[in-house]
Amino acid sequence: MKNSLVTLAFLLMSLLSSAQKVKVKKGEVFIDKIKVAHIEKVKIDSSKYYQVSDVHKNPLFKAQKMSQQSLLFPKDKEYTYRAIYGDKIPDTISIKKNYWLSEKRVIAYALEIGLFSATGLDSSKIEEIVSETPKKPSWILKNLEKEKELIQNRGHKVDRKFDDINIYVKSHAQKDAISQLNKSMVSQMKFDIYQEDPNGDDILIGHAIYEYGTVKGEYLFVLNTKKVPLASYSGAVLKIYQPFLKVGPLEHNISLTNNKRNEAVRNMAIELIQRQLL
């Protein structure tokens, strides 16, 4: 036991002694007190990125927050990640760590993956790192694969032989839940959408989800019976997901004012039925 503790202490000391110290001062990058590069935050319109250059300010690569649109909720939901790209890097290198970028973190990560060394950019490692690193993080690729499976049912409609738009909506109790658009907690209410059959029992033709409290605001979604989202309503704008279309407030009868959620769901369902989507 004593020998094990001594070995562990030795390993820890070795790791600490071999760790390279990164310091960024006024854009100048120092590794173990040796100046090896330059980094600056560049802002162009609404986007921003970090530009890493050598000591003579010749560009080496960039690092930036990027996004991938959701296939299920286009223009409403996106998956954000960070990546290194450009200049001497022939392709995108996704940053596995999901943290906010800073000057020091960009350099520290480049050191961690071997792109940077104590003397600056290690050109001999670029090709290997690019070939072994996915362009997008694996968690995003997995989510997109799941979404591809679901959207195969986006065209699903409950078979019925009547074209009546006599719709009624059944609501369920409001509760706290995870947002459809991100990981935040929201107040959420679910609905079932029925179409009245003049010759028999009413038919369940879809569902709806209302949520409030996310940073994105107030949202209403209508889904088919396969639980695939067909459209969203927020900020007086109706978004139809496939084919994607924005419908302005003067072109529909949907409103969430005065807490008339059942009525909003009903009007949204009618809009989608008339467009042969529900």
Q: In degrees rounded to 5, what are phi and psi of residue 10?
A: -65, -40
Distance from C-alpha of 195 to C-alpha of 158, rounded to nearest angstrom: 10
Q: What is the 3-state secondary structure (H, E, C) of the chain?
A: CHHHHHHHHHHHHHHHHHCCCEEEECCEEEECCEEEEEEEEEEECCEEEEEEECCCCCEEEEEEEEEEECCCCCCCCEEEEEEEEECCEEEEEEECCCCCCCHHHHHHHHHHCCCEECCEECHHHHHHHHHHCCCCCHHHHHHHHHHHHHHCCCCCCCCCCCCCCCEEEEECCCEEEECCCCCCEEEEEEEEEEECCCCCCCEEEEEEEEEEEECCEEEEEEECCCCCEEEEEECCEEEEECCEEEECHHHCCCCCHHHCHHHHHHHHHHHHHHCCCC
Distance from C-alpha of 103 to C-alpha of 28, rounded to nearest angstrom: 10
- Domain positions in the chain are 20-150, 167-274
- pLDDT score for 10: 39
- pLDDT score for 263: 94
Distance from C-alpha of 95 to C-alpha of 140, rounded to nearest angstrom: 12
pLDDT in single tens digits along all 278 residues of the chain: 544 543 444 344 334 334 678 888 888 999 888 899 999 999 988 889 999 999 999 999 999 999 999 999 999 999 999 999 999 999 999 998 777 899 999 999 999 999 988 888 889 999 999 999 989 999 999 999 999 999 999 999 998 876 667 888 999 999 999 999 988 899 999 999 998 876 677 899 999 999 998 666 799 999 999 999 999 999 999 999 999 999 999 999 999 887 789 999 999 999 999 999 99
Burial class of residue 248, CB neighbours in 10 A (0-12, 13-18, 19+): exposed
Strand partners, 39: 52
Prediction pTM value: 0.82
- pLDDT score for 247: 96
pLDDT per residue as tens digits for the range 104-134: 999 999 999 999 888 888 899 999 999 999 8
Relative to beta strand 237-241, strand 229-234 is antiparallel
Distance from C-alpha of 102 to C-alpha of 50, rounded to nearest angstrom: 8
- pLDDT score for 14: 38
- pLDDT score for 163: 65
Relative to beta strand 116-117, strand 120-121 is antiparallel
